[in-house]
Amino acid sequence: MVSVPTHVSVVIPAYNNERTLHACLSAVYAQTHPPTEVIVVDDASTDRTREIARQFPVRLLQTPVNSGPAAARNRGIRASTGEVILFVDADCAPTPTALTTALDILGQTPGVDCVHGIYLTEPLYDDGPVEAYRLLHAHYWRLRSVGRVRTAIFALCAVRREVFDDVGLFDERLRASEDVELSDRMADRHGIWLSAEMTCHHDDDSRLGSLLRKQFSRSQLLVPVAVRERGPAGLRANRPAGVLATVAALASLPLAALTPALLVLPGAALVWFAAADPGLVRFVRRQRGTAFVGFFLALHLLVHLAIVGGAALGGLRFLLDRDFGPSRQLRPRPGR
């Protein structure tokens, strides 16, 4: 048994979150373990985010220009006083026992200094089938990995303050994969736990174009972050077989220009893709029925295409620009 921390600072980075911030803060203040302080870091919003934050007894910090979630979280860390910092994204509403669950795990699990949770399949606001796809996939891949992991997802995540004293803060050069990069610095010395009981409702992407653009943009950092990982790979949202099947489909499609008979190659790759994660297919069928599975797989393929394209571009940028990707000065010093 280790010490159970009680003094908790909640840090909420927010950018144009007028739609969800009230629900987020209401859920934070309804926790069974009340937080000591709640800090909202407004990252130069242009909507009513600050006005909504002021409806609650929060400490509101404002950045002069939009700098991304890493910089916003760092500002919140520096301003906080808690033994534990609970990070909550402004489009998430934690369930009432989320913080209590995290503190129990921190207090009862030796070597664990970071606990993060999972999205529920029920959205914060129901915006249709694209959002349903997102939440089903997000819930499933986290659920299959519960327990000790090497990656923390900071949408709902409790971390002992001493972790940041040891490994440093978020890399502010990164606007995506910043949690993966920080986790890589943490994992060897500070245990990370993924809990199925620490949950939240999430307002996820609901428009296809926006979803694909975001996936393409974020995946550009996959290669530089992965290249600089020091230990074994951490959490991965998608099965390698599915990614390889997507690459095979793309690579073999031009061959059909030679003869229609060669369409069998991308066709076989698509069958491989559909069969790459049978557990996911069974999960979607249980949750939404057989009819939804086809829509889910079609959208899943489009997302994979965006990820593969973004990763390819990011890999090229990494080769041509040594400043693209994580900051090298944030790497842990040898022997620490």
Query: How many angstroms separate the CA atoms of 20 and 16, rounded?
Result: 9
| CB neighbours of residue 60 within 10 Å | 15
Secondary structure class of 259 (helix, strand, coil): coil
- Give the C-alpha distances (Å, rounded to integers) separating 278 from 9, 241, 297: 40, 11, 11
- Give the C-alpha distances (Å, rounded to integers) separating 210 from 50, 148, 207, 217: 24, 33, 5, 11
Is-contact 75 60, C-beta < 8 A?
no
Q: Taking the model in full, what pTM does it have?
A: 0.91
Instruction: Determine the residue type at 230.
Output: R
The bridge status of strand 147-149 relative to strand 191-202 is antiparallel
Is-contact 242 277, C-beta < 8 A?
yes
Query: How many angstroms separate the CA atoms of 284 and 294, rounded?
Result: 10
pLDDT tens for each residue of the chain, 336 residues long: 566 667 999 999 999 999 999 999 999 999 999 999 999 999 999 999 999 999 999 999 999 999 999 999 999 999 999 999 999 999 999 999 999 999 999 999 999 999 999 999 999 999 999 999 999 999 999 999 999 999 999 999 999 999 999 999 999 998 888 999 999 999 989 999 999 999 999 999 999 999 999 999 999 988 888 887 666 656 788 899 999 999 999 999 888 777 878 788 889 999 999 999 999 999 999 999 999 999 999 999 999 999 999 999 999 998 998 888 888 555 544 344
Comparing C-alpha atoms, which of 54, 30, 31 is closest to residue 42? Answer: 54
- Among left, alpha and beta (phi > 0; psi -120 to 50; other), residue 121 is alpha
Comparing C-alpha atoms, which of 120, 68, 67, 70 is closest to residue 95? Answer: 120
For the chain, which domains are there? 8-206 (3.90.550.10), 240-330 (no CATH)
